Amino acid sequence: MTTLPPVDDLLAKAHVVSLPMRVRFRGVDTRDALLLEGPSGWGEFSPFVEYVDTEAARWLAAGIEAAYAVWPAPVRTAVPVNATVPAVGPERVPEVLARFDGCTTAKVKVAERGQTLEDDVDRVAAVRSAMGVGARIRVDANGGWDVTTATEALRRLTAYDLEYAEQPCATVEELVELRTALARNGIDVPIAADESIRKAEDPLRVARLGAADVVVVKVAPLGGVAAALEIVEACGLPAVVSSALDTSVGIAAGVALAAALPSLGHACGLGTVGLFERDVSATPWRPASGVLTTGRAVPDPAALVALAAPPEREQWWRDRLVRCHAVLADGRSR
């Protein structure tokens, strides 16, 4: 476990940035992040604004690990990456895919609020048409369907040869029920668990109850590279490492996790820097020939100035860091 630095040390070298998005994603048009500089390099603290402090504190632990500790040793130097297609209209799919150089796998957002299953089908069909029959396509519903809706949706979408469906339903129990319903109806779509891992008090429950075929892990929500690696090993299921809409600093941590996994049979969702108009790094961590390589991302001083959050947003994040630091300190004192 990384030693918890004094909060004043964190604040002294913290930078809060606001990155404009190319496409509205996960309900946001601008992505805020607090970046930490430490003896090991840079870390990122960017829990989504709706997360309570006890949940957000794990993101701070991950940022501190990156800035103050050493990541687990890699077993590979390059990690395959998937393209990410937000809930755009089918006409925008080629434009989005063009930002992901060499990627042969795409994750497509579905179950967007205010949209219909027809919108999802049209989007996935456009991705298949653009990428060809040899590409892998996975869909991500972020828990937006109930079991009945998910069964019908995956029945429709299986025509496009899905690699898997990520978090089609919200709860572990629903995922178990859905897998049973899919088998009963002859629908062959593997299930991946994301929120049921990263937002759960007991992330191993997914494996115990047989709720998924694949686990999706994200460094920040799980408290760091070392903690996420332990969870993957304990689950005993194939893993995909994904981004939490990170800057290049956070993406580097995701690549470190993917590089340390004993086996990696799926492309990882770490190509999301291309969704920003501008990144904090002068050389943004975007896939080249469909892969990302291991290393550390270093923010460009000019970008830190140009992308600096407004004063009220900066103070909000600094206050949040202080509260989350107190949560970590309290947990370690028990």
CB 83 within 8 A of CB 104: no
pLDDT (tens digit per residue) in 265-303: 999 999 999 889 999 999 999 999 999 999 999 999 999
Tell me the per-residue pLDDT of 119-158, one tens digit each, with 9 for 90 and over.
999 999 999 999 999 999 999 999 999 999 999 999 999 9
* Measured distance CA(69)–CA(77) in Å, rounded: 19
The whole-angstrom separation of Cα 152 and Cα 154 is: 6
Token pair belonging to 33: 């992040």
Specify the pairing of strand 28-38 against strand 14-25: antiparallel
Low-confidence residues in the chain, pLDDT < 50: none
- 55 is an annotated ligand-binding site residue: no
Distance CA 107, CA 137 (A): 6
- 13, 107, 199, 218: which is the annotated catalytic residue? 218
Cα(137)–Cα(86) distance, integer angstroms: 13
* Strand 105-109 relative to strand 83-85, pairing: parallel
Q: What is d(CA 298, CA 280) in angstroms, rounded to the nearest whole number?
A: 8
194 marked as binding residue: yes
Contacts of 246 (CB under 8 A, 6+ apart): 33, 44, 46, 220, 253, 254, 272, 273
What's the token pair of residue 202?
């007991």
Query: To which H or E segment does residue 83 belong?
Result: strand 83-85
- Helix or strand (DSSP H, E) at 22: strand 14-25
The reported pLDDT for the residue numbered 136 is 98
Q: Among the options 13, 107, 109, 199, which is catalytic?
A: 109
pTM score, whole prediction: 0.92
Domains in the chain: ranges and CATH: 7-71+301-333 (3.30.390.10), 78-293 (3.20.20.120)
Query: What does the DSSP assignment read for 115-178?
Result: --HHHHHHHHHHHHHHH-TTSEEEEE-TT---HHHHHHHHHHHGGG-EEEEES-SSSHHHHHHH
Beta-bridged to residue 281, according to DSSP, are 299
**Length in residues, the chain:** 334
- The count of C-alpha atoms lying within 13 angstroms of the C-alpha of 30, restricted to the half-sphere facing its C-beta, is 10
Distance CA 107, CA 174 (A): 22
Residue 13 annotated to the active site: no
